[in-house]
Amino acid sequence: MLIAIFAFAWWLVKRYLRSLRQDAPPAAVSEDMVRCARCGVHLPRSESITREEKVFCGEEHARLRD
């Protein structure tokens, strides 16, 4: 009897986890990656700072530009 209860519980858990995988939202839309002109770190364009047509990873590197 215990084996049957355990098997049924296991089946329910697997079924629930499978349904979570199927209902997962689609992956995020890809975004252009840019390279910091100062240190070379790659980051998404939306997180970068552009000054005088150069791209930087943060305010500090934008201030230290060559």
- Cβ atoms of residues 51 and 60 within 8 Å: no
Note the pTM of the prediction, 2 decimals.
0.54
Q: Phi/psi zone of residue 40: left (φ > 0), alpha (ψ -120 to 50 degrees), beta?
A: left
Distance CA(63)–CA(59), nearest Å, equals 6
Please tell me the total count of domains within the chain.
1
pLDDT given for residue 34 in this prediction: 94
Determine the structural domain holding residue 8 and report its residue range: 2-63
Would you state the pLDDT for residue 20?
75
Res. 65 pLDDT band, cuts 50 70 90: low
* Lookup: tokens for 53: 């047509």
Quick one: pLDDT at residue 5? 92
Is residue 25 scored above 70 in pLDDT?
no
Helices (H) and strands (E) in the chain, counts: 2, 4
